[in-house]
Amino acid sequence: MSADGFSSGPPPGAAADWTIDQAWSSYTEGEHKVWDVLYERQTALLTGRASDEFLKGLDALDLHRGGIPDFARINEELQRLTGWTVVAVPGLVPDEVFFEHLANRRFPAGQFIRPPEQLDYLQEPDIFHDVFGHVPMLTDPVFADYMQAYGRGGERAMQLGRLHNLARLYWYTVEFGLMETKAGLRIYGAGIVSSRAESVFALDDPSPNRLGFNLERLMRTPYRIDDFQQVYFVIPSLQVLLDATLQDFAPIYERLEKAQDVPIDAILPSDRVFTRGSQAYAKSALERVKA
Ligand code: PHE
Ligand code: FE
């Protein structure tokens, strides 16, 4: 996770790279319980919805020994599988700090867990979103390479002034990505798998568009941070996603400079359409705001 608008350095107690001690032994019983409730709830929903890569990663990490997992333990397995580690941070970190961690195969995860009265919605990513949502995919060798490449690409996009375009790639893949499989569409995005409501909405609701992944098209599409997505992009496989990002983005960024954004709910003639969404949910949400 990352965010813009940081003017000063790391908060007191954090290292220069913004990492902190997870301080695993100081989580309370109540905090461990929140993890257990969320874990049970999501895993019950995700069979038949999450991608095999995600479910396999979840199994490999054994994130259900009771309570919030200890990063030291997760890291032994993760390190062995793909060379990634999870590091604790206080919350959102500046973009350049985030990219630097990814480029070195370190995933920064929020140390705190949401309070029990906010099980379904919170603004900042907590340890459940970051660890349950993101870390299982990092056990997959292809996805592991993709995330590292993204970190390097982030540093470059910042220099070229195209971070807003690259951020859309992260959003529509790492956070809200869907995958086409023989058994049907499956979720691999962390923002979906860690959300009770969106893990149903993203696959089953007739409202959002579900469109085939196309790198340049996707980078022209804005996204919502405040509600369910209006469009999801479907990759054929993680390998296709990785391969599409191995090319040099500089010429793409140059074209994007002149190209217009695609409206969030638009379907283009060149799109491969999995679902032509009714957009009913987005429209009714708008009505609620106006009322
Ligand atoms: N290939 C991209 C570039 O040239 C880097 C990148 C890789 C970006 C993977 C995102 C994901 O900038
Ligand atoms: Fe996230």
Classify residue 166 as exposed, middle or buried by CB count within 10 Å of its CB (0-12, 13-18, 19+). buried
Rounded to the nearest 10°, the torsion over CA 45, 47, 52, 54 is 30
Closest C-alpha among 148, 194, 162, 189 to residue 259: 162
Reading the block at residue 75, the tokens are 């890291």
Separation of CA 291 and ligand 2 centre (Å): 31
Q: Taking all residues of the chain, what is their mean pLDDT, rounded to a whole number? A: 95
Residue-wise pLDDT for 215-271, tens only, equals 999 999 999 998 999 999 999 999 999 999 999 999 999 999 999 999 999 999 999
For residue 176, give the ligand nearest its CA.
2
Q: Which spans in the chain are helix H?
A: 29-46, 52-61, 71-82, 95-103, 127, 141-160, 163-170, 190-193, 198-204, 215-218, 238-246, 250-258, 280-290
For residue 248, give the ligand nearest its CA.
1
Contact 21, 13 (CB under 8 A): no
Q: pLDDT-based confidence at 128, cuts 50/70/90?
A: very high
Separation of CA 216 and ligand 1 centre (Å): 12
Residue 7 pLDDT: 64
Query: Phi, psi at residue 272, to the nearest 5°?
Result: -85, 120
State which H helix or E strand residue 93 sits in: strand 93-94
Separation of CA 227 and ligand 1 centre (Å): 27
Residue 1 has pLDDT above 60, yes or no: no
Residue 4 pLDDT: 59
Residue among 249, 253, 255 to mutate when testing ligand 1 (max atoms within 8 A of CB)? 249
Task: Provide the 10 A C-beta neighbour count for residue 71.
Answer: 22
Q: pLDDT-based confidence at 2, cuts 50/70/90?
A: low
> Which residues sit with their C-beta closer than 6 Å to ligand 1?
149-150, 152-153, 156, 169, 245-249
Residue-wise pLDDT for 60-112, tens only, equals 998 887 899 999 999 999 999 999 999 999 999 999 999 999 999 999 999 99
Nearest CA to ligand 1 atom 10: 150
Separation of CA 164 and ligand 1 centre (Å): 14
Residue 5 pLDDT: 60
Residue 287 pLDDT: 83
What protein residues have CB closer than 5 angstroms to ion ligand 2? 125, 190
- Which ligand 1 atom minimizes the distance to the CA of 246? 1
Reading the block at residue 262, the tokens are 């695609």
- Which ligand 1 atom minimizes the distance to the CA of 156? 12
For residue 107, give the ligand nearest its CA.
2
Residue 278 has pLDDT above 80, yes or no: yes
Separation of CA 168 and ligand 1 centre (Å): 12
Separation of CA 129 and ligand 2 centre (Å): 6
- Which ligand 1 atom minimizes the distance to the CA of 242? 9
Rounded to the nearest 10°, the torsion over CA 70, 72, 74, 79 is 170
Please list the residues that pair with 110 across neighbouring strands.
89
Separation of CA 29 and ligand 2 centre (Å): 25
